[in-house]
Amino acid sequence: MLKWMAARLDTIGSGKRARAFREGWPSRTREDIAFVEAGGVTFRYRAAGYGRPIIFAADPPVTLEAYDRLLEIYSADFRAIVFELPAMGFSVPGFWQDFCFFQANDTIAEFIRLIAEEPAILAFSCVAGLGALDIAGRYPSRVSHLIQIQTPSWPEAIRWKMARDPKNILAKPFLGQIAMRKLALARAPLWLKLAVGQQEALTGLCGCATDALHHGGAWAMATAFQNYLPDKEPVMKRVSQPALAIWGNSDGSHRETDRQSSLWLCDHPASRIAEYEDLGHFPELEDVERIYAEIRAFVTDTSAD
């Protein structure tokens, strides 16, 4: 109950904020910015191209503005879509959202249903990749392939969470939410410096994150740690869709993570892991063309099923 009450700090005034974002700076940064209501959340997203849908979840504190090149490249072969997760960036959850794992994934599954006319390739990153696995298991008709970017098993994700919050501040209701609000602008560049592998990409990603935070963007990491990623692993279904796990091994935040754990729920025989020594936490943004070629080849090779 205490965690649920603390999460209200990230949902209070949601209606007013959603209207402000639709009318203000977050709606004008790019011509293709769009908003849609799904499952009680106002999602902000971008889309480009035609064909089979591939959906990326922006990995906070990075927002949609960092995906120009990715959308340009992927739109040649796909309907490329990128969205911001609830309470991240400028996607606004309704006041009563609880941010618990299955409930939050239900809202994302509803978003997918609204914007994708056929089963989609889900290319989610890190903790959000756990949500992609859950959606693929419980809503299999909405997912054709999984691209798991920097996504380990649940126990490995808990190890990662504890390393990111060694003093157990973010894990504490109210204290964690207040700390994130006060420290977000200072923490974002430090986190990105630790996580990004291609240093020439660091300036652009830091600029994107700080611009978004200056304009009221959210980075509700404390609520995510407390509610979406609890220490007790939920019971999840195994998935039959082909899964490609992509790892940037220069990601300092995942230095100790077991890469082989990524496919622990994936039953398709063509599922595999691809590792890149010179890329970091954002491989799909740090080397767009190389990761695009990897994903396109995997989807082509496994689409006959």
Give me the chain's average pLDDT, please.
96
Q: In sequence order, what are the beta bridge partners of 120? A: 143
Tokens of 270: 């063509």
pLDDT, average across residues 19-42: 97
The arithmetic mean of pLDDT across residues 279-293, rounded, is 98
CA distances from 208 to 55, 84, 212, 213, 257 (A): 20, 13, 6, 9, 27
> 127-177: per-residue pLDDT in tens?
999 999 999 999 999 999 999 999 999 999 999 999 999 999 999 999 999
User: What pLDDT sits at residue 71?
Assistant: 98
Q: What is the pLDDT of residues 189-232, one digit of tens each?
A: 999 999 999 989 999 999 999 999 999 999 999 999 999 999 99
Q: Is the confidence at residue 1, as pLDDT, over 80?
A: no
Please give the model's pTM, rounded to 2 decimal places. 0.96
What pLDDT band is residue 3 in, cutting at 50, 70 and 90?
A: confident
Beta bridge partners of 275: 247
The pLDDT score that the predictor gives to residue 86 is 96
Does the pLDDT at position 181 exceed 70?
yes
Write out the two tokens for 112: 């997918």
pLDDT at 130: 98
Q: What is residue 304's predicted lDDT score, i.e. its pLDDT?
A: 66
May I ask the CATH architecture of the domain 2-302? 3-Layer(aba) Sandwich (3.40)
Over residues 20-45, mean pLDDT: 97
pLDDT of residue 4: 78
What is the average per-residue pLDDT within 48-53? 96
Determine phi and psi for 266, rounding to 5 degrees: -100, 120
Report domain extents, the chain: 2-302
The pLDDT tens digits of the residues spanning 73-117 come to: 999 999 999 999 999 999 999 988 889 999 999 999 999 999 998
